[in-house]
Amino acid sequence: MKPIKAIIALIVVAIAVFAAYYYYAHQVDIENIEVSSPNNLPLNAAIQVKLNKAEAVYVEYWKEGDKQSYKTTVSNAAVQHNIPLMTLEPNTSYKFRVIIDRIIPIKSSEQSFKTRAQSPWMVHDWIKADHPHDEKALGNGMVLLCYRGFPGYMAMVDGKGTIRWYWQDEKLGVRLASLTPRGTILALLAPASKDEFNKPNQPSKKSTNASYYLRSGRIGFVGGTVLVEIDLTGKEIARIDLDKKGIIMHHDVQMDHNNNIVGIVRDFRIDDRPNHPKDTLWGDAILTMDIKGNILKKWSPWEKWDIQQDKKLDSLKHDRFHFNTISFDRDNNYLTSSPIENQVWKIDAKTGDILWKLGKGGDYKLKDQELFYFQHAPHITKTGELLLFDNGDFSPRDSTTANKQSRAIAFRLDQKNKTATVAYAAPIPKKQFTARMGSAYELDNGNLLQTSSKTGSVLVTDKMGKVLWELNAYFIPYRAIYVPEETWHKYRQN
């Protein structure tokens, strides 16, 4: 009798548990599920869910026939939900289910959708089979590129050469972009018609310095008229009309740890040297503004620059410094790059004092093979090294590329004692030498992402310079930014 009673008791308990779960589960119903394609893009989908009561939900989705699935982050409790699915592949069938986030999850039946084919004008042979193309070399991240023509756009490309994210402005080209600490994107926009160039000054026969400048007029090649911040769904958070404010921003813009915008801007002073004609001396400054475009402060080297002693000034009066970078040291002070001086400067963000200069004629003693020329994108890596892209243009007025080679080079700095040692140098192939523009960044796997702008090449190399992966752009990318996998954690769990 005892075994029978035990069995009956288990049956009663099971019925009670099932009844409790049935009651629990049917307290909430999924009334409707719809799938839409925001902005008709083939890379995103949005799942609209309507419940009969407020609950938190998430979506599990996967490519049809693929074992790997992804889960979006859990939404806040609500009756209606709009859940974005990001970085989808074009012309691909997906399956998904909506899951109500409870102690015992409640799952919808499997649903399906198919992304549309990529727009023909966005289809490009980014990866060539006869070039290095080990997609594992890029890791799990993607490459962010900006197209400055019309229609301008930003695109993220994966290791297979597939565009997985895309944003376009209706009227303006995208000059450059950066990732912010809060997981958004800052982009500098401008129409191509705003570019202005003049012929360089001819050097004096007695001059021994590189008497040239690259930027004239008001805006130059990498200048912008509008600054926009967007989130990864493409939603516009802020738009600042720089042109209306009389701000000429160019080459770089970043968001600091206070969520303020810091960018390189054109700046000038009047040439009031004795026995010199009155003229406007053009240079650069570092400008800080809030997200609404209110100017908070400006640092300009003109404030403490001795123009009386500047022997290069006459030949460089239209572009004295040519700053092309703003980044931050670990103490939140500024790092900027003056390629005309072949130097990286560190500037006290509060006082404006130049704390040190690294490079030719700077405060750190470097060997000849450690010097860099017309460099771009200096910044501090996760391991504390100063990494930059050395364009290698040691003779700017020589149009040949003989003996010239671009490279990534990283320094370990002892800022107290002003000593620098090379951590590594990774030269790219000579055929991809780029006199102007370019960038170098470390990937999470230890490889390097290097951009040869003039040749339209984006390379993943090891720290010796061996090319492991190559992306071929059909335009000149000012730089390529690495977008790590964790950038998407706000939108998906894995």
Residue that wins the pLDDT comparison between 195 and 343: 343
Residue-wise pLDDT tens digits, 291-315:
999 999 999 999 989 988 989 998 8
| The last residue of a domain, from among 114, 146, 180 | 114
Same domain for 106 and 226: no
Question: What range does the domain containing 237 cover?
Answer: 120-488
Residue 195: which pLDDT band, with cuts at 50, 70 and 90? low
What percent of the chain has pLDDT above 70?
89
Same-domain pairing of 391 and 318: yes
Please state whether the peptide bond connecting residue 203 to the residue before it is cis, i.e. omega within 30 degrees of 0.
no
Whether residue 155 is found in the same domain as residue 296? yes
* Co-location of 80 and 179 in the same domain: no
The answer to whether residue 493 is domain-embedded is no
pLDDT in tens, 72-100: 999 999 999 999 999 999 999 999 999 99
Q: Are residues 130 and 108 in the same domain?
A: no
Q: Is residue 494 part of a domain?
A: no
3-class state of residue 183 by DSSP: coil
Shared domain for 96 and 211, answered yes or no, is no
Residue 389 lies in a domain: yes
169 and 38 share one domain: no
- Does any domain span residue 222? yes
Structure tokens given for 305: 């620059």
pLDDT at 25: 56
pLDDT tens for each residue of 360-388 = 999 999 999 999 999 999 999 999 999 99
**Number of folded domains in the chain?**
2
**How far, in whole angstroms, is CA 296 from its chain's centroid?**
24
Residues 237, 299 within the same domain: yes
20, part of any domain? yes
DSSP string, 92-146: -EEEEEEEE-SSS-EEPPPEEEEPPPPPGGG----S-TTS-B-GGGGTT-EEEEE
Query: What is the structure's pLDDT at 11?
Result: 75
3-class state of residue 298 by DSSP? strand
**Alpha carbon distance 469, 463 (integer Å):** 13
DSSP structure string for 397-433: T--S-TT---EEEEEEEETTTTEEEEEEEEEPPGGG-
| pTM as predicted | 0.88
pLDDT for the residue 170: 86
410/341 Cα distance (integer angstroms):
19
Q: Domain holding 101: CATH number?
A: 2.60.40.10
The answer to whether residue 425 is domain-embedded is yes
**Quick one: which H or E segment has residue 47?**
strand 45-55
SS (H, E, C) 340-370: CCCEEEEECCCCCCEEEEEECCCCCCCCHHH
Task: Let me know whether 276 and 306 are in one domain.
Answer: yes
Residue 7 pLDDT level (bands cut at 50, 70, 90): confident
Domain containing residue 310: CATH number: 2.120.10.30
CA distances from 276 to 273, 306, 307, 308, 314 (A): 6, 15, 12, 11, 10
Residues contacting residue 136 through CB under 8 Å, at least 6 positions apart: 159
CA atoms of 393 and 407, how far apart (whole Å)? 11
Report the distance separating Cα 342 and Cα 357, nearest Å: 10
Q: Are residues 209 and 109 in the same domain?
A: no
* Top-confidence range, 4-18, 26-40, 241-255: 241-255
Let me know if residue 92 belongs to a domain.
yes
Amino acid at 378: P
Among 70, 91, 114, where does a domain finish? 114
Burial degree of 346 (CB within 10 A; 0-12, 13-18, 19+): buried
- Check whether residue 343 and residue 275 sit in a common domain: yes
Confidence check: pLDDT of 19 > 80: no
Predicted pLDDT of residue 10: 74
Q: In what order do the strands lie in the sheet with 326-328?
A: 326-328, 334-338, 343-347, 354-359
Give domain status of residue 241, yes or no.
Answer: yes
278 with 356, same domain: the answer is yes
pLDDT at residue 21, as a whole number: 63
Per-residue pLDDT tens digits for 196-206 = 544 444 444 44
Of 62, 80, 114, the position where a domain reaches its end is 114
Mean model confidence pLDDT for the chain = 90
**Predicted local distance difference test score (pLDDT) of residue 207:** 37
